[in-house]
Chain A
């Protein structure tokens, strides 16, 4: 027997939300708003208690929004004679779009790989999303192979711009943010159709259509200097198709046509790290790069282990970094530092 609450006390919102899903899944032809507000538990009690119609309708709109956010596909069947008139609209959730397709099953080997893939996010909200997805897949009850041990792949994500950009991409909405282009004094406002986010050489990039420049552009997330504002303007969702591939190809093409001629001291950290990406060239090596400022940062860290022969722009960037470093460390500090033994690792 059910222990049905005997008094119509306040119904918890999650209860109302789930009741609504159950009701909308159970109907073929759809339920009108009036039927929902007077029969679905959670609304019904408030209707009976004399809640205002406006308040109830607002609550219903919010609930629909929240459920769609959870991936529940609420369909609106409008009045065909007047599509803008929603008074006679009916709502339903098509079972086939709500449920995982029946023919999707996962092999034990696939589940083992998925478990590994689900554990890569170091950032907590993406990690929670991955775990929630895994939980749904596990609920299918398929067997799983022994876990893949010995690997700990991680995706690092520290840029606050990531989450709002991802949300805007899902909703195909235009975003605005301030962007400080390297080498420029002050940030500029950008209006972008966000199309893909990609991690390339350990950095997150946004690939999107720049509305003001009328061209596709790639941005480093670490140089977004304001909050990302999601506007109400939508863009054509079809623009997103294949955008990730285009973005990746774009960066690879940049790397293919931009390279530096470097001289490295053999046996040093610079030689080890750079030669992995390099091709030998006469007295030095040629190394492709994507972003002159990012590459100059790396080269500056090698100090005297590397010398930039060309291009001149990269050489100048490295020189100015070394000059800044020297200027900052030229004078002794007042702090009394301990003398420390150097340790062989």
Chain B
């Protein structure tokens, strides 16, 4: 885990959370506590040491007495790297969630609600109420629009749960229709798009399928056998991918973040030139037409010509 430098306010926030955590744990190793709070062990040790000089104000300007301060078992810390809190002077209960923490979780819950088997369990409803009640301020209203659940998504969810392969017809753009049998490993959901990653019996390898392109889906009775193999990141390019060169207007770069994620990009004024690996260079014509005027395919020449004919063929329909 990489530990970032923290601001004083961040450190204060962590100390407020640390006390109830330590009380709950009884004894906990520096390593485990550091992991939970996403800091280094040295940072965790410093926080715990700091805690022992924190406490109630002294009476009438006198120095605080020892029992007015938090304290820990020093021997345990020094000899075994284990934290155990021995005296507390407040902060024993977990603080409320901030408005922003609650908002971040509430939005995530709305997305989780669209998953078959999660959203229909009644759990979400209770959680929404608890988070709203457990927040210290009114969370900003973040809404993730619900997605319609269809047969394909439900069947894929069933296959995941029952750990059997799923079989379907797949129509990738510009490719012939194929029938696939896939050991489902993971369903990725982003920006309303659903992707299934799994081991494809036809290609004998891990593959990613856009669920909008899946039809005639059914459960098989073939148990999953390849689920343990390494799953590449979504959109991870492979060595066999073609390299293309595109010119992109700087203003639209954020819109193309997924596409340009692993590109090597060079800047020249308002224009970014990117060399990217693409699994299928035929997809470039669609990208270029979607961002008309802002994305120019420069190479390979064949892909560039394909963009021109794509646009030309589209225009012919209107003449």
Contacts and interface: CB of A to CB of B under 8 A. Distances in A.
Report if A and B associate in a common complex: yes
A324 interface: yes
A344 B109 CA distance: 37
A14 B107 CA distance: 30
A104 to B, nearest CB: 5
Contacts of B45: none
A251 B243 CA distance: 40
B192 to A, nearest CB: 5
Interface string B1-21: 000000011011101110011
Contact of A322 (B91, B108, B315): B315
Given A44-B61, A170-B140, A335 B311 contact: no
Interface string B115-147: 100100101101100100111111111111100
A39 B140 contact: no
B67 to A, nearest CB: 9
Given A136-B94, A136-B95, A199-B144, A340 B300 contact: yes
Contact of B280 (A18, A120, A301, A345): A345
B303 A337 contact: yes
Contacts of B311: 303, 322-323, 325-326, 329
B228 interface: no
Contacts of B172: 345
B74 to A, nearest CB: 7
B8 A12 contact: yes
A302 B286 contact: yes
Interface in A293-315: 297-298, 300-304, 307, 315
A269 interface: yes
Nearest to B231: A152
A287 interface: no
B193 to A, nearest CB: 7
A159 interface: yes
Nearest to B122: A109
A151 B187 CA distance: 5
Contacts of A35: 57
B303 to A, nearest CB: 7
Nearest to A98: B95
The number of chain A residues touching the other chain, given as a range, is 35 or more
B149 interface: no
B187 A22 contact: no
A268 B186 CA distance: 26
B74 A3 contact: yes
A70 B9 contact: yes
B96 A301 contact: no
B136 A117 contact: no
Interface in A192-247: 195-203, 222, 237, 240, 243-245, 247
A87 to B, nearest CB: 20
A18 B301 contact: no
A77 interface: no
A186 to B, nearest CB: 14
B191 A156 contact: yes
Contacts of A95: 93
A130 B105 contact: yes
A22 B310 contact: no
Given A14-B9, A39-B57, A130-B108, A251 B145 contact: yes
29 contacts: A15-B53, A18-B15, A19-B57, A70-B16, A98-B95, A106-B130, A107-B123, A109-B121, A117-B111, A118-B105, A120-B112, A129-B103, A130-B105, A139-B24, A150-B184, A152-B189, A159-B254, A166-B142, A201-B192, A202-B191, A202-B192, A267-B171, A269-B286, A297-B292, A301-B287, A302-B289, A325-B292, A325-B310, A340-B281
Interface of B: 8-9, 11-13, 15-17, 20-21, 24, 36-38, 50, 52-58, 60-61, 63-64, 66, 69, 71, 74, 89-91, 93-105, 107-109, 111-112, 114-115, 118, 121, 123-124, 126-127, 130, 133-145, 150, 157, 160-161, 171-175, 177, 184-193, 207, 212-213, 215, 234, 240-243, 245, 254-255, 257, 279-282, 285-293, 296-305, 307-308, 310-318
Given A139-B94, A152-B186, 16 more contacts: A4-B69, A12-B8, A23-B56, A97-B96, A97-B136, A104-B133, A113-B109, A120-B112, A135-B17, A139-B21, A150-B185, A156-B257, A158-B254, A197-B143, A340-B242, A340-B302
